[in-house]
Amino acid sequence: MAGYRTFNIRKRISFLIIFSIFLSLVIMGRLFYLQIVKHDYYTAVAQDQYYKNSDLPAKRGEIYVKDNYADSGKSKIAMNNINDELFADPVMVDNKEEASEKISSIIGLSKEEVLDKLNHPSSPRYVKIKEGLSMEEEAQIKEINLNGLRIAPRPSRYWPEKALMAQVIGFVNKTGTAQYGVEQAFDSILKGKPGKLKAERDAMGTIIATGNNVLIKPVDGDSLVLTIDKNVQATTEEILKNSVEKHGADSGSVLVMDPNTGGIIAMASYFLNEPELDLNNYYEIEDYRFFDNLNLRQYEPGSVFKVITMAAGLDSGKIKPEDTFNDSQYIVVGGNKIYNADRKKHGTVSMSYILEQSLNLGTAYIQGKLGEEDFFNYLTKTFGFGMKTGIEFDFEDGGKVYGPNEVNDHTYATMSFGQSIAVTPLQMSSAVSVIANGGNLVRPKIIESFMRQGIKEEKKETEIIKRAISEEAAKEVTKMMINTIEKGHGKQAKVSGYKVAGKTGTAQVPVPGGYDPNKTIGSFVGFAPATNPRFVIYTKIDNPKDVEWAESSAAPVFHDVLENLLMYYNIPPDDN
Amino acid sequence: MKRNPKIYRQYQRTFMVGPISLSFITISVVVVLSLLYMSQSSRLLVRNYDFDELEKKKAQIEAETEKFETEVAKLQSITEIQKSQNANKELEKVRKINYLTSTSSLALK
C-alpha cells in the first residue's frame, strides 16, 4: 500500500513537471515568434508611435524692385507673410449670438454673417471666420477672450503694391503654384528646397533632443532684385491708363529700357476696362487674359521699323547719309504698287527726309539696294528679329520674319516699312538700343541681381551679344531720328531742353485676306538724351477711336513718360 | 632590545568581507550609480523641454517680425501714400527743375 501511494505521488509530480515544461515551451515559442520572427514588424510599429516625420517648408525668396526714394535703394514687391486666420470651434462657443456681435464689431463682417458661419460650420468642430487678420484685429480678438475662438498663423505671399506691375510679377496661389510673370518664370529659384525631420517625440509630441533624430535642413529660396524702378513703373502705368481711356483704345503698352545694360526700367500693359489686378485678391479676378504682358506679344509695327531699315542700309554701305532718292509718288514692285501714307509725290529727297516724313517708297528703295538676302540677314542675325530676345521670361513671342524665298518681292518691300513682319515691343526696343548705344546688341534683362539665401547679393552682368552695326551708322541714324522729332512727325514727343531721337509708326491691323480699314496701331520708339542716351522708350496704343495717327496717340505718351524719367533721375538738359 | 609593548603594538589587519556584505556593497554601488544616471538623464530631458520652449518662442518672434515687416511694406506702398496724401494733402507734386546754364565759373545768385 505504501508503495502504491508513493507511485501515485510520483505520477502527479511527473505530470506537473511535464506540464510546466510544456507551458514554458509554449511561452518561449510565443516570445520567439514575437521578438525574433516578427522583430521588424513590431520595431516599425513602435517607431511609428514615437518617431514622427515632418516636412520643413523652405521660405520662398522675395522680389525687390529699385526705389530711388528708399534708403536701401530698393523695396519689396513680393514678400512672405504670416496670414492670421480666425476660426472657431462652434461646439465650444458658449453664446453664439453674443459671440457674433463681439466678433463682427472687430473684424468688419456683419453680425448675421458671423452667426451664420457659427450655426452652419463647414465641419462640426471647425469653421473659418476670417483670414488675413490685421495686427489690431488680432489684439482685440485676444482681448475679448471668447471660448471656442482660435487664431492660427498661415504662411502666405503678400504683394504690398497690390496691382502695380501685376502682369510683370504674377502671383502664387494658395497651393503654392506660381502663375504668370516673374513668380512663375523664376519659381525654381524662388521656392528653395524643403527639408525633413525624423525625430523621436514624447507623448505630448515634444521632440526629444537626445533622441536618434535625422534632420535635413530646408534651403530657403533666393531673392531677386529686378531692374524695374517702382516709381517709374507707377507713373508709366498711370500715363498709359489715362491715354488708353482718353482715346478709347483697346489696349496699350509702354516699355522703358536702359540701352547700355539692357535693363528694363518699366514695363506696362493696360487693357481698356481692365479690373484692378490686386495680386492679394487674385482669386477674385475672373478673366486671366488681363495678365498678358503686351510688351512680349508680336504685331506688325508699321513705320517705326523704318529706323531699322535705314540703319541696315547705312551700315552695309549700300547707302550713304548724303545720298538722295527720287520719290515719284509710287513704285511698282512685284507687279503691285507701293504708295506713301500721304499718297503724295515728294520729289528728290535726302535720306534723313525719308525718316522725317516717313516715306514708304524711301525704305522700299533702301531694301531694294540691300537685296533680300542681306536685308534678311540684317533683320535676323544683326538685330535679332524672328527669334526670342532671351530675356529671363520664357513666354515671349519670337516674332516672324519671312525668308527671301518665302514671299514675293512686293511683300519683301513692305517689310522695309514694318508691314508683313511681326515683332514685339521688346524686340524693337532691343534693336533701337543698338542705335542708341553706338552699335552693340545687348541682351535685355529684368534681373539686376540675385540675393542668395536672402543675404549675399550677386549682380547679373550685362551681356553684350555682339557689335551689330558701326558707330558711324548708329550716329547717322540718331541724327535722322532727332530730325524726325524736330522737323517731322514726332514733334509731340519732344521734351523742351533735350535732344530726343524718335520715330512714329501707324500700322494697319492685318485680318484674313488683307488689312482692316478701320483699325490702326499707333507706335512710337525713341531714346533720350540723344547725346548720351539713358532710356529707350517704346509706346503702343492699340486701335485708338478718336485719332488716326501715332503722332496723336503714342507720341504724347512717349513725351509724358520721358519727361517723368528726366525729372526722376535729375538728368540735365543736353539741347544747348 | 625588547620593544615596549605599551607604546608600540603591531597589528596585523585582515579585513574579511563575507558574501552577504559583498552583495550588499555591490547592490549599493549599482543603486547609487543608477540614481546618478537617472538624475543626469532627467536633467537632460528638462533641458530638452526648455530648448523646445525656446524654439517655439523663437518661431513666434520670427513670425511677429515678418508681420511687422509686412505692415512697414504696406505703409510704404504707393497706394497707402496716395491714400494718406488724399487725406492730409501734405505732399506737393514735383515741379519741373530749372537747370542753370552758364559759361562762367562763378555761381549765379
For A132-144, what is each residue's pLDDT tens digit?
Answer: 788 788 888 888 8
The secondary structure of residue A36, as a DSSP letter, is I
Q: How confident is the model at residue B99 (pLDDT cuts 50, 70, 90)?
A: confident
Calpha distance A562→A550 (Å, rounded) = 16
Nearest CA in chain A to B44: A210
Secondary structure percentages of chain A, helix, strand, coil, to 5: 40, 25, 35
Nearest CA in chain B to A70: B76
Beta strands A63-66 and A223-229 are parallel
Start-end of H helices in A75-192: 96-107, 111-119, 135-144, 166-169, 181-185, 187-190
What are the residue boundaries of the structural domains of chain B, listed by start?
A: 19-88
The more confident residue out of A138 and A402 is A402
Helix, strand or coil for residue B99?
Answer: coil
Q: Is B58 on the interface with A (CB under 8 A)?
A: no
Count of residues in chain A: 576
Using alpha carbons, select from A541, A565, A550 the residue that is nearest to residue A245: A541
pLDDT over 90 for what percent of chain A?
60
Angstroms from B56 CA to nearest CA on chain A: 11
Picking from A70, A76, A572, the nearest residue to B99 by CB comes out as A572
Calpha distance A269→A119 (Å, rounded) = 46
Calpha distance B99→A418 (Å, rounded) = 39
Calpha distance A106→A484 (Å, rounded) = 62
Calpha distance B70→A161 (Å, rounded) = 11
Contact indicator for A76, A209 with CB cutoff of 8 Å: no
Tell me the angle at which helices A471-487 and A425-436 cross, rounded to the nearest 10 degrees: 110
Calpha distance A229→A267 (Å, rounded) = 10
Which one of B66, B72, B85 would you mutate to disrupt binding with A, by most A Cβ within 10 Å of its Cβ?
Answer: B66
The more confident residue out of B7 and A492 is A492
Task: Give the pLDDT confidence of A447-467 residue by residue, as tens digits.
Answer: 999 998 767 788 899 999 999
Q: What is the CATH number of domain A228-568?
A: 3.40.710.10
Check pLDDT > 80 for residue A544: yes
Angstroms from A229 CA to nearest CA on chain B: 13
Contact A210 B45 (CB under 8 A): yes
pLDDT of res. A252: 96
Which one of A76, A233, A574 would you mutate to disrupt binding with B, by most B Cβ within 10 Å of its Cβ?
Answer: A76
Cis peptide before A529 (omega within 30 of 0): yes
Q: Which residues pair with A542 in a beta bridge?
A: A251, A521
State whether ipTM is beyond 0.85.
no
Contact B73 A76 (CB under 8 A): yes
Residues in chain A within 8 Å Cβ distance of B96: 567
Q: Which of A15-19, A118-122, A418-422 comes out lowest in average pLDDT?
A: A118-122
Beta strands A347-350 and A324-327 are antiparallel
Task: Give the pLDDT confidence of A490-533 residue by residue, as tens digits.
Answer: 899 999 999 999 999 999 888 888 888 889 999 999 999 999 99
Q: Which residues pair with A501 in a beta bridge?
A: A527
Residues in chain B within 8 Å Cβ distance of A64: none
Q: Is B62 on the interface with A (CB under 8 A)?
A: no
Calpha distance A198→A48 (Å, rounded) = 11
Check pLDDT > 70 for residue B7: no
Picking from B45, B51, B78, the nearest residue to A234 by CB comes out as B78
Residues in chain B within 8 Å Cβ distance of A209: 44, 47-48, 51-52
Angstroms from A81 CA to nearest CA on chain B: 6
Helix, strand or coil for residue A65?
Answer: strand
pLDDT of res. A247: 96
Q: Is B49 on the interface with A (CB under 8 A)?
A: yes
Using alpha carbons, select from A306, A499, A297, A316 the residue that is nearest to residue A399: A297
Calpha distance B83→B69 (Å, rounded) = 20
Angstroms from B91 CA to nearest CA on chain A: 14
Q: Is B50 on the interface with A (CB under 8 A)?
A: no
Picking from A158, A230, A234, the nearest residue to B70 by CB comes out as A158
Contact B66 A80 (CB under 8 A): yes
Task: Tell me the residue type at A132.
Answer: G
